[in-house]
Structure 1
Amino acid sequence: MSFSTTYTLDKPYFYECFDESLPYSAQAKPKYALLVLLISLGLIAIYAMNKHYLGNFLILAAVLECVAFYYRRPWWVTRQMLSRASGSEARLTIDESGFKSENPHKSYQLAWQDIDEVIFTVRGIILKSRRGMQYVSNSVLNDEIIEYIKKRATK
């Protein structure tokens, strides 16, 4: 079986990728240990060592980490929109060997044996491997290929 389709790498697609992948990524929760460490070191620098500049810097680094966590979605989408691939047409091919996606600027191939986990979300499919995660939207797939992926994932 072989399936091929094209889709556009645009802002709505990037938002969908981020929203569906976030619960399964390491960035889903704030780095509480880092925040506690930065604030503690900042307070120690201010009150125990009397180094106000260092203490303020460490506390502001913790605040910056909170801001970065809060705005991670628009920041990630903006970075994708600024990339060369933004707005280009991507071609997805699914066959016996695995997944292959290519656009004018980048391509990746993921063999079935390299896929560690297949996660079916409400709006798409997440393919986890040692190299990271790849997201495929259900909007570019038909029911037949989704069933094929489900069968291959359970093998």
Structure 2
Amino acid sequence: MAFTTTYTLDKPYFYECFDESLPYSKRAKPKYFLLVLLVALGLFGIYGLNDHYLGSFLIMLGVLECVAFYYRRPWWVTRQMLSRASGSEVTLTFDDDGIKSANHYKNYQLAWQDINTVIDTQQGILLQNKSGMQYISKQILSSEILDFINKKTTQ
């Protein structure tokens, strides 16, 4: 039995992918240790070593890390939109072997036995495997496909 569906890699899809994946990613929280370390080293550089250039540089790196964390969503979506695959149509095929994804720029296959966890989010599903996570929106999945995925991943 095989199911096929298609979707377009556009900005709304990328925003949904980021928003639904973020709570399960390693980047959900700021790097507090790094921030404290940079500020402490910066203050040590200014007051301990009397090197204002080095201290200011380290503190500005901490500020830059804060800005990068704050703007991580638009930055990630912009990077995806600048990729050559942006705007292309992706065809997903669900069969007994696994999930196949194909578009003009990249093809990959994820075998059912390689999927460690299926996380059901509000707007989609996250498939975790050893190399990372794959997000699939429920907007493109029928109830038959969702049942098929659940059946294959719980075996």
Instruction: Provide TM-score, normalisation by structure 1.
Output: 0.98
Distance (whole Å) between structure 1 residues aligned to residue 118 and residue 12 of structure 2:
23
Q: Superposed, which structure 2 residues align to 1:7-46 within 5 Å?
A: 7-46=7-46
Give the AA of the match of 1:61. Answer: L
Deviation for aligned residue 1:94: 0.8
Identity %: 68
SS of residue matched to 2:27: helix
Which amino acid is 1:133 matched to?
M
Structure 1 segments unaligned to the other structure (5+ residues) = none
Amino acid at match of 1:54: L
Partner residue in 1 for 2:129? 129
Match of 2:108 in 1: 108
Distance in 2 of aligned mates of 1:40 and 1:107 = 46
Give the structure 1 partner of residue 69 of structure 2: 69
Shift of 1:100: 1.0
Task: List alignment gaps of at least 5 residues for structure 2.
Answer: none
* Matched positions, count: 155
Q: Which stretches of structure 1, 4 residues or longer, exceed 3 Å deviation after superposition?
A: none
The whole-number CA distance in structure 1 between the counterparts of 2:44 and 2:53 is 12
Letter paired with 2:89: E
RMSD: 0.7
Q: Give the aligned partner of residue 142 of structure 1.
A: 142
TM-score calculated relative to the size of structure 2: 0.98
Structure 1 residue 6: Cα displacement: 1.0
